[in-house]
Structure 1
Amino acid sequence: MINESALLESKTLRNSVLDRTDVLDRVKALSLLPDGMHVTTAMVAAYFSVTVEAIRALVHDHRAELETNGYRVLAGTELSDFKQLSGIQSRTGSLALFPRRAVLNVAMLLRDSEVARQVRVYLLDMEYLARTQPVDNSVHTDVVSLDDRIDQRITHILGKTVVPMFNALIASSSEHRRELISLRQDIENVEQRLCWHHRRLSALEGDAPTDSVRASLSSMTWQALERHVADLLRRDGCTDVVVRQARSDRGIDVTGRTADGRTLAVQCKNRAGRATVPSADMQKFAGAARAVDRVNVALFVATCNFSVEAQAIADLSGVITVDRDELEAWSAGARLKVLR
């Protein structure tokens, strides 16, 4: 197996494992800001048990790489909007934010941190972890329901056994590497969706606080929604992501490239209080994305459902629709199939 120190030296190797942000919580719980997406410099330092100055020095040396993975500094109106949305208090004129992908990037660059070293070991020595952390087969007899126990066992097996097995196969296989990576992503997606559905059911049954992702989406302005979608795209490996934030007639709010280089255009609709996205909006976006810009991937993201007519136009024109439920799942960690 590759030694964990190789991640410190090889950017290519780092890029190959940046989608495994779930590793962060498996090594140590990562506390997030109320938006459920970001952490501050101080929070990154606390996670890795180092000083804030150490994180700032690392950002200074590797800023371009970190920015590719979502690191950014807010100021002015953008900072005011974010503070209002997240409810945080900050008297400084700027605020540095790290999404989970950038935090994982820090773990692969930070030398003097035992937590960072453990993250690197987990990423590259999955076979070892699978042997030393076997699946717990004990039967719990506490007040947890049967369905809860099943959910917990499935997610535990997926995370601790199946995914490490795929990592070991990927590391030793060249002929079927692409197929194995695709299968691993499917397994991870199932694991993430199970966790998300469990949280939603718990919230509906009154067993958990209101879902933070849903609350965050409900409070977003259209500008915040576009930035949120851009962050999700970066988290899932997209590059050259640009938020236009202009009310143009062409209806394209975010552009970029998928991890495999396909061109991407996104329309974001914040339709609070509206039942569905009408067909006129879909027709306008489909024309811009397909006839004018001719992008490879056209994505229409909405905080509501799509009308039957709008969905029909999307199907005919090849536009991928993401409705409220799918947006919540995406925000909670599931990956969109079209971006894999």
Structure 2
Amino acid sequence: MVHEGALLESQTLRASVAERTEALDKVKALSLLPDGVHVTTRMVARYFEVSEHAVGKLVQRHREELTGNGFRTLRGSDLRIFEKDNLSFCSESYPQGRAHLALFTRRAVLNVAMLLRDSDVARRVRTYLLDTEQATRAESPGAPVDDAVVHSLIEWLDQRIAACVAEQGVPHAAREGRVREIAEEAVRGVVGRTVVPLLNQVMHAHGELRRRLAENEAETVRLRRVVRENGAAGSMAALDAMDSREFGRHVAWLCRRDGCAELTVARGESGGGGYGDGFADMLGHAADGRRLVVRCRTRHSGAHITSGDVLAFAGVAKLEYEADVALLVASAPFTRDALLVAARHEVTAVHRGLLEAWNKGARLRVLG
């Protein structure tokens, strides 16, 4: 069964259950405005037992998706009309003279439930959604052909053949051959009008099912990667347990998290050498567009990062790749001389202390 946390990461999965707004009332009664359609930010926050600020931040991050599900912000004449139509509510709940008012439909509130992390109510809604979806699929694995349908079709064919024979007044002597012809015509008619369209629908459904399976498989791979990366975030023990390739991929994820773009990771079992020099593990651009070169070293690569390691990387990064930002990231410790050489040659030494802070969510300033 899919875990409720998957809805937080997968927009495809959220879209597949976006119509199931009954889940909101199954978990907790949702109060609506007098128009019977909308909910304000304050009402959404009260329903999920979080602050209005938390709801506002979520709207900023996912405005496009929420707008597609009915969220909107009223301003100007639209706001004045809404206030007039809901005068008693607005006068009691909100001060006069505000510039805008955010409104959510039930579908938009359900969308919030599938995005809001720090809410027990939202988690219960997500769990209910996935439990219901699982139960629906278990109850309807397919639509087997009912024997009664087959018998009805045979009975209809018999009646059709008998009626045609009676209408055409076929002599008894010639009846056998004519019955065969009428039966063939009737069967062709049924096949053409009923069976062929059904087969076409089945083929279309099969193609759609294969497409959805492919999408779900890709989504599953992505979700596994997200879970793995989130599991490593904040844990130095997890980083120490990684091999060179895993460590390089995690560092790439940290760079992307801080806004780096066009990042390409070197191939190779060691996590380095993919560019033919043995020193550049990934290339890309910092958040502000500066050229970025990264070298990754794990504790398995050697006891310490020495001044010679730093000089070799600095030469490749600055001379060959013309790096604006040279990042030497290591779970292994740096020697004192290595840190001094890094400072002299404008290499950012991401030592264990800095790596731990970066891994726990701190932004690496040099990345912009």
TM-score by length of 2: 0.39
Q: Which has the higher contact order (CA 8 A, sep 6+)?
A: 1
TM-score by length of 1: 0.42
Q: Which has the higher helix share?
A: 2
Larger Rg belongs to: 2
